[in-house]
């Protein structure tokens, strides 16, 4: 049944300037097989129906269990500017070298840092309780470098101290050719609750924030040894923790682990490298599905999608 959200073929040549819809839905059971969805609207294009349709790859995301279309559209409608930025970034960086995609991600993140959607989230979010800085334990055993995130009192949230320690450790691994394997784990019940929310908004200049990310993001040195990295995940793996882990050549998880990208509700996008690492692990459409829905997925689902490589007790 047609709805106001449905994309119809005649709309491809229409003027979108006065169109306020936050998303459109393409029913691939009805869409002509020989009609490209081109140009794409500047808003999320959500697919329903057969995924083997010749034009299905043009959709930004397909709803699939455990994420339903209603959840997906509700989250997009709540933060339409951030949602549009997510899909535009993923489209633009598909197939790009990861180093180029990281720069684009940071620019997009900087744009959203200055948005009304992010400002509204910050104004409605109480101040986080102070916590002691994070620790990263490093241990060298032969050709193996072991890294252990240790901030369990803050659910291993990644603060500036921990971010810089990860950057230094991966830089060491990138420079030392005698290191052939890097293992990243975490203490406590969870792998990581993501970025430390208490540090959100401390840098008020988006250009300065971009400059900081360009110099300090752990993904930069990690990329140079990504194939040699292994990450094991237990419990929650949220936001920045998931974004970093997804760069690794091998990712294992406990059967009870779960995964989530909650940034859209904050009016931003994954800015710790996730817009680069996730699409390269699970594809652009499933990466967008996680980002746009904000819904958690289980370890078995993550294994099915290719987000992790094995379940390990």
pLDDT at position 15, please?
Answer: 85
Which pair of structure tokens corresponds to residue 298? Answer: 């289980």
Q: Average of pLDDT values for 205-211?
A: 93
The pLDDT of residue 49 is above 90: yes
Predicted confidence band of residue 310 (pLDDT cuts 50, 70, 90): very high
Angstrom distance (rounded) from CA 101 to CA 114: 21
Cα 13 to Cα 10, 31, 38, 40, distances in angstroms: 6, 16, 9, 10
The pLDDT of residue 68 is above 90: yes
Q: Average of pLDDT values for 95-121?
A: 97
Helices within 62-218 (DSSP H only) = 69-78, 80-93, 98-113, 116-123, 160-175, 206-216
The pLDDT of residue 308 is above 60: yes
Which pair of structure tokens corresponds to residue 39? Answer: 């140009």
**DSSP letter for each residue of 126-188:** PPPPP-PPPEEEEEEETTEEEEEEE-GGGTT-B-HHHHHHHHHHHHHHHH-TT--EEEEEE-S
The pLDDT of residue 101 is above 70: yes
Q: What is the pLDDT of residues 238-271, one digit of tens each?
A: 999 999 999 999 999 999 999 999 999 999 999 9
Q: What is the pLDDT of residues 173-197, one digit of tens each?
A: 999 999 999 999 999 999 999 999 9
* pTM greater than 0.75: yes
Predicted confidence band of residue 4 (pLDDT cuts 50, 70, 90): low
Cβ contacts of 215 within 8 Å, gap of 6 or more: none
Angstrom distance (rounded) from CA 228 to CA 267: 34
Chain centre distance of CA 25: 22
Q: Average of pLDDT values for 51-67?
A: 97
Q: Which helix (H) or strand (E) holds 47?
A: strand 45-48
Domains of the chain (ranges, CATH numbers): 132-267+296-311 (3.90.226.10)
The pLDDT of residue 43 is above 80: yes
Q: What percent of the chain has pLDDT over 90?
A: 89
Q: What percent of the chain has pLDDT over 70?
A: 98
* Widest Cα–Cα separation across the chain: 64
Give the other-Cβ count within 10 Å of 72's Cβ: 25
The pLDDT of residue 93 is above 50: yes
Whole-number mean pLDDT of the chain? 95
Q: What is the pLDDT of residues 112-150, one digit of tens each?
A: 999 999 999 999 987 777 789 999 999 999 999 999 999
Give the other-Cβ count within 10 Å of 224's Cβ: 14
């Amino acid at each position: 049944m047609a709805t106001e959200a449905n994309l119809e073929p005649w709309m491809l040549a229409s003027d979108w300037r006065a169109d306020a819809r936050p998303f459109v839905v393409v029913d691939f059971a009805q869409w002509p097989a020989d009609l490209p969805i081109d140009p794409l609207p500047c808003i999320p294009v959500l697919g329903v129906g057969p995924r083997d349709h010749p034009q299905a790859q043009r959709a930004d995301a397909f709803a699939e269990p455990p994420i339903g279309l209603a959840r997906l559209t509700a989250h997009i409608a709540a933060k339409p500017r951030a949602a549009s930025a997510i899909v535009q970034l993923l489209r633009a960086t598909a197939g790009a070298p990861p180093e180029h995609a990281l720069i684009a991600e940071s620019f997009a993140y900087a744009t959203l840092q200055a948005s009304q959607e992010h400002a509204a989230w910050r104004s409605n979010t109480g101040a986080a309780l102070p916590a002691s800085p994070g620790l990263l334990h490093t241990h060298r055993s032969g050709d193996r470098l072991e890294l252990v995130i240790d901030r369990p009192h803050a659910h291993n949230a990644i603060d500036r101290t921990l971010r810089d320690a990860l950057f230094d450790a991966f830089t060491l691994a990138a420079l030392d050719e005698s290191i052939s394997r890097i293992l990243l784990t975490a203490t406590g019940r969870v792998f990581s609750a993501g970025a430390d929310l208490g540090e959100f908004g401390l840098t008020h200049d988006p250009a300065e924030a971009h400059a900081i990310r360009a110099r300090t993001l752990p993904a930069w040195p990690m990329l140079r040894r990504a194939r040699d990295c292994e990450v094991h995940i237990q419990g929650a793996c949220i936001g920045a923790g998931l974004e970093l882990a997804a760069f690794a050549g091998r990712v294992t998880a406990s059967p009870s682990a779960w995964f989530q990208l909650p940034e859209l509700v904050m009016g931003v996008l994954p800015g710790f490298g996730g817009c680069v690492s996730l699409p390269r692990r699970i594809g652009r459409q499933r990466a967008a599905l996680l980002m746009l829905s904000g819904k958690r997925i289980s370890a078995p689902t993550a294994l099915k999608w290719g987000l992790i490589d094995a379940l390990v007790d």
